[in-house]
Chains A and B, each alone.
Chain A
Amino acid sequence: MLLTGAQIVMECLLEQGVDTVFGYPGGAVLNLYDALYEYRDRIRHIRTCHEQAAAHAADGYARASGRTGVCIATSGPGATNLVTGIATAYMDSVPVVAITGNVTRDLLGLDSFQEVDITGITMPVTKHNYLVKHVERLADTLRSAFRIAGSGRKGPVLVDIPKDITALKTEFTPRRPEPFPAADLPPDGQLSRALAMLRSSKRPFFYCGGGVVSGGAAREAAEFAEKADAPVSCSLMCQGGYDQSGGRYLGMLGMHGTKASAEAIKNCDLLVAAGTRFSDRVLCNAGLFARHCKILQIDIDAAEFGKNIDVDWKLQGDVKSILARLNGLLPQQDHAGWMKQAAGWKRDFPLRQAGGPDEVTPQAVLETLSRLTGGGAVLTTEVGQHQMWAAQYYTFRKPRHFITSGGLGTMGFGLGAAIGAKTAEPEETVVNCAGDGSFHMNCAELSTLARYSIPVVELIFDNRTLGMVRQWQKLFYGGRFSQTDVDGNTDYAKLAGAFGVKALKIAKKHEIEPVLREALSSRGPVLIDCLISKDENVLPMVPAGGSVEDPILEM
């Protein structure tokens, strides 16, 4: 059939099973938005207040559902506003297809109005990108974009479409997307070496990264932990990739990991690391990381082996298939003594926040939230102290339920991500944990929540300061609190009211549970202003350059 470029974009989205896109209209995408109007009964469009939030929403949609998220922006500033969101998705390997309009082909390269070289700008933060110069190539380009975004190690792909291409007509033939070819399993020889390492280990420690979540390997990981009879730790990106209510789970590993995980890494003789890139926030000091044990690394990306740390053995491929194969081949191991030792650390070093009898601590709020939701809510976060508290104190039980900007550390990510997550999974309870600093970066998106009646709970840990930076200033800069106090003039109730969002407040400890209950049972969006002390810290903490085995427990 003969279709315009804009109609072809819609048809390609439908081909890929896209039901929702996030975006913001503008001059260069007028034809695309006209087609969206035509296809409005099949493709839902959520208009955010700022393109950055559209990119975060597409990202949150993808992280919550496992399906590729899509965002649309116009040329120039529309496109550049997506960049932070694209970079966020890139650092956390999230499948997103970003579609940008551009000026007509005859105006490209002439510094035309709202022209920007967005393929040039996004080259370092996309898996790949395209500038479409022929309408005949448009459909296949979009198909490639979805294939690249969703296969292998996932990531964002940008397709830049000049305005005249979206108006030109060409013949379109629908094509069903082919399933992605499965990654090869490592050869048997490599697997048997890994099995030998596992069988000879007396004190194995199983460490899961975000790849376990994005590779859909949570069940295989759980079975592997049983088979290998090992204690388990997860990176920030894998919160929920392993059921944290179980006895094997020792807590997070890394800069703000638990003492129990630190002890396990100090005392284990084999570290099995699955779907992790050994980020500097986990290694802390690479030279002091896991010195007394062998490391077996499983990852889909060949470039992750030997990048940040040398490992003793590597298995390259899809983490789900590799763990399934190991589970099939590995005889049941028994490390009762080692497991008992690990349980001892877990018992002796619980996470604990001090506080007066009536004081609202983040721990009390998040543990109550965890109890009220049975560990089953989707938590999105901004970046800072509240993000670490959410990872530490909420007991995640399922993958794709903790959505956070781990790699790029993007303040302003969470609310957009929550919009995407709730849109993708409307049956789930979605709570965005925010700090008051991060909240101020993207608070306009409250109006998006209200406009589309998206029942997200915006839970603001309001300490009137940029808490994580303040914590570093306290520890390393002699308490010189440069620019970290957030002005306390924002009236959250009035602000929420202005946007049409219900506002609640937690100021006393006894208010935590009733307020959370009310928010969770609300049919519309709710903002909770949760007042906490300025001086709450995120502990444990490994200072820069320190060893992950030796965290600070008090300050």
Chain B
Amino acid sequence: MQETGEKEYILSVLAKNNPGVLLRIAGLFSRRCYNILSIVASQTENAEYSRILIVVSGDDRIVRQADKQLCKLVDIEEVDILDPKKSVVREHLLLKVRRTPRNSWHLVQIAAVFRANILSVAEDFMIVELTGDAGTLNSLIELYSPYHILKILRTGSMAMAT
């Protein structure tokens, strides 16, 4: 249910690895009423810095504001708004689905179509993992849905400009 003009933007933020930096970013988004769809943070090749990927939903004006307000935070070094068409975007999914002797073959077939890895198989469930863009992950989830999904874990989007 998106309003007109609202779409998803990916902000790639380079921040000093100081305590509380994630809280500063999250707090800024919350008090200025920007919507975070997902957030992924981890150390960069330089341990003094973290790279934080934030997927935001909003219109162009809100994203420009988010960019400029982020730039004012002392711990933030750089903010890039990534163009999804000129970036590699990847998410990681872990999915636990109910397994029965009758459906097992179907589950394996679906995983094979997506080149998803089967990480664990037990008598009554199976765990698969898949890395891909959000659309691919959504398709896999949709195809597994009729078999009773027990649990889903999903990272937010990671993205790198090409």
Q: Do A306 and B31 touch (CB < 8 A)?
A: no
Cα A128 to Cα B75 with chains together (Å): 9
CB-contacts of B5-22 with A (<8 A): 19-20
Q: Do A303 and B24 touch (CB < 8 A)?
A: no
Cα A53 to Cα B155 with chains together (Å): 47
Cα A128 to Cα B68 with chains together (Å): 16
Please indicate the chain B residues that have their CB under 8 angstroms from the CB of A131 in the complex.
19
Q: Do A123 and B72 touch (CB < 8 A)?
A: no
The 0/1 profile, CB within 8 Å of B marked 1, for residues 291-311 of chain A is: 000000000011100110000
Q: Do A123 and B68 touch (CB < 8 A)?
A: no
CB-contacts of B35-89 with A (<8 A): 61, 64-65, 68-69, 71-75
The residue that A123 contacts in the complex, of B23, B64, B65, with Cβ under 8 A, is B23
Q: Do B27 and A123 touch (CB < 8 A)?
A: yes
Q: Do A306 and B20 touch (CB < 8 A)?
A: no
Query: Least Cβ distance of B67 to chain A in Å?
Result: 9
Q: A124-B27, A148-B74, A301-B72 are in contact. Are A306 and B19 (CB under 8 A)?
A: no
The 0/1 profile, CB within 8 Å of B marked 1, for residues 134-173 of chain A is: 0000000000000010000000000000000000000000
Q: Do A127 and B74 touch (CB < 8 A)?
A: yes
Please indicate the chain A residues that have their CB under 8 angstroms from the CB of B74 in the complex.
127-128, 148
Interface size class of A (residues with CB under 8 A): 10 to 19
CB-based A-B contact count at 8 angstroms: 28
Q: Do A303 and B69 touch (CB < 8 A)?
A: yes
Q: Does A337 contact B (CB under 8 A)?
A: no
The 0/1 profile, CB within 8 Å of B marked 1, for residues 98-130 of chain A is: 000000000000000000000110011001100
Cα A44 to Cα B76 with chains together (Å): 36
Cα A120 to Cα B24 with chains together (Å): 9
Q: A301-B72, A303-B72 are in contact. Are A123 and B24 (CB under 8 A)?
A: yes
Candidate in B31, B61, B64, B74 with the most chain A CB atoms within 10 angstroms: B74
Cα A131 to Cα B72 with chains together (Å): 19
Q: A128-B74, A148-B74 are in contact. Are A303 and B68 (CB under 8 A)?
A: yes
Q: A128-B74, A301-B72 are in contact. Are A306 and B23 (CB under 8 A)?
A: no
Query: Least Cβ distance of A299 to chain B in Å?
Result: 11
Main secondary structure on B side of the interface with A? helix
Q: Do B23 and A120 touch (CB < 8 A)?
A: yes
B18 nearest in chain A by CB position: A130
Q: A128-B74, A148-B74 are in contact. Are A303 and B27 (CB under 8 A)?
A: no
Q: A124-B31, A127-B74, A128-B74 are in contact. Are A306 and B61 (CB under 8 A)?
A: yes
Cα A510 to Cα B103 with chains together (Å): 98
The residue that A119 contacts in the complex, of B20, B31, B69, with Cβ under 8 A, is B20
Q: A127-B74, A128-B74, A148-B74 are in contact. Are A302 and B68 (CB under 8 A)?
A: yes
A152 nearest in chain B by CB position: B72
Cα A131 to Cα B73 with chains together (Å): 16
Please indicate the chain B residues that have their CB under 8 angstroms from the CB of A148 in the complex.
74
Q: A127-B74, A128-B74, A301-B72 are in contact. Are A307 and B65 (CB under 8 A)?
A: yes
Please indicate the chain B residues that have their CB under 8 angstroms from the CB of A306 in the complex.
61, 64-65
Q: Do B65 and A303 touch (CB < 8 A)?
A: yes
Cα A306 to Cα B64 with chains together (Å): 9
Q: Do A302 and B23 touch (CB < 8 A)?
A: no
Query: Least Cβ distance of A277 to chain B in Å?
Result: 13
Candidate in A120, A123, A148, A303 with the most chain B CB atoms within 10 angstroms: A303
Query: Least Cβ distance of B84 to chain A in Å?
Result: 23
13 A-B pairs in the complex with CB atoms less than 8 angstroms apart = A119-B20, A120-B20, A120-B23, A123-B23, A123-B24, A123-B27, A124-B27, A124-B31, A128-B73, A128-B75, A301-B72, A303-B69, A307-B65
Known pairs A120-B20, A302-B71; list 20 more (Cβ under 8 Å): A119-B20, A120-B23, A123-B23, A123-B24, A123-B27, A124-B31, A127-B74, A128-B73, A128-B74, A128-B75, A148-B74, A301-B72, A302-B68, A303-B65, A303-B68, A303-B69, A303-B72, A306-B61, A306-B64, A306-B65
The interface of chain B, by Cβ under 8 A from chain A, is 19-20, 23-24, 27, 31, 61, 64-65, 68-69, 71-75
